[in-house]
Amino acid sequence: MPPTTLTKPSPKNGAKGAAPEADAAEFNPFTGFAPFADMWESGMRRWWNLTRHVMGIDRAPVGQTPRDAVWSNGKAVLYRYRSESPTVRPPLLLVMSLVSRSFILDLQPGNSFIERLVAEGFDVFLLDWGVPDEEEANNTLETYCDELLPEAVAKVNQMGGHNGVTVFGYCYGGLLSLLYAAGHPDDPIRNLVVMATPVDFTKMPAAMTGVGEGGIDPAHLMDHTGNVPAEAVRASFTLLTPTSDLSTVMDFWEHLDDDKFLSSYQAMTSWTRNHIPFPGATMIQTVEMFNEGNGFVTGDLVLGGRKLDLADITAPFLNVIAERDHIVPPESTYGLDELVGSDDATEMRLPAGHVGLIVGNGARKRSIPSMIGWMLEHSDVES
């Protein structure tokens, strides 16, 4: 029964035998119905939020920072974020993973890595690989690291006034950035930053490395397009924390009357539940080079017929590690600063998860300022 002042015993008359007149005298019609009103309001809001979530009404928008597409090749698109007057040089190129959507870097106003970078004066570019289909099924690591990335970097460099480029790779995008930088030492890379990037594949979770020799044959994962379907990609992440989906639903139900929570929930789930297919040929190459060969650690990296060496990366280098990362565990990323040839190589360990590096309160207060601080130190800042 809901609490109400109507049944509260009067201290004057005691619990028993309290005169109805006395109780009635204590009931305040202006505040007495407040608990009922609160319950009613909360209940109605829950039903409304549930209805609009299920019906897809007024869903939380993502990727709101204004931008322009400035280059494309196939499905890969290079975006430049609008900025009144960028004060930081060189421009910053964000390289996204192949299996997840890029709007995680620009989730929502007030909770956006890119928005923050633009506000700090960076000239921000984002390389979005798009959603592959049959056309991209034969894309290899060479396609990304020897064709698309060099073209995108050249474009950014040209648009940024030939000051070089800070390349910033996230997750698998970091892996691509490392291969690209090692294979193109003469390209105008001013700084290289990789974040939550797998290096030692022997220390990766079994669900991420179960494909290959002695495990799942990559060919058995391909769908009719020749790519690994998005559902399979998502399943591999779900297997890392099997109860996480259920916990997310519980969070949703618990905070259903909170409009702000619902907005964040919709934005995050639209990312975590919408992966993109992994190009088949790249998948096979990744399995051979990294799952089976552990290429970064053994040094057995061959791209386009030539041997790569991480020691050829001489630009200032930052390796950002999330200490609570369950997708790319920190132990699989330690020591990368010693593998590259940069004299100025830094390893930054942050108390966050894989996504928490760039999304949420922790990111806003700790991770993002730390990364921005390093990049500002290695850039030219106009006053």
Partner 1 sequence: MAKQWREIYDEWEKAVAPGLQQFTASDGFRDFMAASAKVTSALTVEFERASRRWLHFWNLPAATDVRKLRQQVAAVDRELKGLKNLVFEVVAAAPDEVAPATNGKAASVPSRATDSKPAAKKTAAKKPAAKKSAAKTTAPDKAPKSDRSAAEQPAAL
Q: Which residues are catalytic?
A: 171
Which is nearer to partner 1, 121 or 212 (by Cβ)?
212
Stretch that binds partner 1, among 18-26, 118-126, 128-136, 183-191 (CB under 8 A): 128-136
Work out whether 254 is an interface residue with partner 1 (CB under 8 A).
Answer: yes
115 and 62 Cβ atoms separated by less than 8 Å = no
Q: Which of 189, 195, 219, 221 is nearest to 207 (CA)?
A: 221
Q: Which of 10, 48, 59, 77 binds partner 1 (CB under 8 A)?
A: 77
Which is nearer to partner 1, 99 or 301 (by Cβ)?
99
Stretch that binds partner 1, among 24-32, 186-194, 221-229, 259-267 (CB under 8 A): 221-229
Contacts of the segment 141-146: beta carbons below 8 A, 24+ positions apart: 141/176, 141/179, 141/282, 141/285, 141/286, 141/289, 141/303, 142/303, 142/304, 143/282, 144/98, 144/176, 144/180, 144/282, 145/176, 145/179, 145/180, 145/183, 145/303, 146/180, 146/183, 146/184, 146/303, 146/304
Q: Which of 5, 87, 225, 272 binds partner 1 (CB under 8 A)?
A: 225
Stretch that binds partner 1, among 73-81, 265-273, 300-308, 330-338 (CB under 8 A): 73-81
Which backbone phi and psi does 119 adopt, to 5 degrees?
A: -65, -30
Q: Which of 21, 68, 84, 382 binds partner 1 (CB under 8 A)?
A: 68
Work out whether 219 is an interface residue with partner 1 (CB under 8 A).
Answer: yes
Coil vs helix vs strand at 373: helix
Instruction: Kindly write down the DSSP assignment for every residue of 27-59, as one continuous string.
Output: --TTTTTHHHHHHHHHHHHHHHHHHHHHHTTTP
Stretch that binds partner 1, among 10-18, 208-216, 350-358, 374-382 (CB under 8 A): 208-216
Q: Which of 240, 302, 348, 376 binds partner 1 (CB under 8 A)?
A: 240
211/305 Cα distance (integer angstroms): 24
Work out whether 19 is an interface residue with partner 1 (CB under 8 A).
Answer: no
- Which residues does residue 93 pair with via DSSP β-bridges, in sequence order? 125, 167
Q: Which of 1, 11, 54, 243 binds partner 1 (CB under 8 A)?
A: 243
Residues that bind partner 1 (CB under 8 A): 66-74, 77, 79-80, 133-135, 137-138, 151, 154-155, 158, 205-207, 210, 215-217, 219-221, 224-226, 239-243, 246-247, 250, 254
